[in-house]
Structure 1
């Protein structure tokens, strides 16, 4: 799963010309019939005290969605998946900031669609 997520983020970074007014990204998570899915959106607005900012979608990359197909998550609950994916994203964008200019200086959050957002950066 880690390699899948890292590759997906790198592809988005490499293929995207980001509008200059995007200030925040949200990695959303949801469960579908096929399993868990992660997606990325961006917004011109961020409000630390109101997670609804993430509903104002001003940017969607071409590769918006990634199905988390790894068998290792089948036995995990949603909290474990959130924690694991959050750590993968945090470690990747922190350690590779020089290769991921898309995220430099931006707010980055993660959360399930029906839950609270957690700030990564």
Structure 2
């Protein structure tokens, strides 16, 4: 899937979440978690600790549509390439969709569940 198609799919997913699920005000961090065989999920947490990525295990907010359906990654891409592309897309969308209540949190990260998280904002 090309980056533009992937971005469109993620954007549509975020717009649906924002329409259906109200993010509780106490949620201060979102994590766009990548998992194998390469999917993307979203959780929110009441805590954020830049020194300890375990904060992202606190699933204080789970949207109804937790995983982004319909996105696929090229089998020839490495996990590093996938992470870099998803990071770039989430960074772009957090600016583009800054008016969405869902994204009005101080902290947004992405990364694989068994690796370090990358700070988007």
TM-score, normalisation: structure 1? 0.88
1:102 equivalent in structure 2: 102
In 2, the alpha carbon distance for the partners of 1:28 and 1:46 equals: 15
Please give the per-residue CA displacement for 1:19-42, whole angstroms capped at 9, x wherever unaligned. 11111010100113xxx1100001
What is the alpha-carbon root mean square deviation over aligned residues? 1.4
1:116 equivalent in structure 2: 116
Superposed, which structure 2 residues align to 1:38-117 within 5 Å? 38-67=40-69, 69-70=71-72, 73-98=74-99, 100-117=100-117
Q: Does 1:6 align with 2:11?
A: yes
**Gaps spanning 5+ residues in structure 2: where?**
1-5
2:30 equivalent in structure 1: 25
TM-score, normalisation: structure 2? 0.88
Moved over 4 A (4+): none
In 2, the alpha carbon distance for the partners of 1:48 and 1:67 equals: 29
In 2, the alpha carbon distance for the partners of 1:117 and 1:108 equals: 10
Aligned length: 116
Which has the larger share of strand? Answer: 1
**Gaps spanning 5+ residues in structure 1: where?**
none
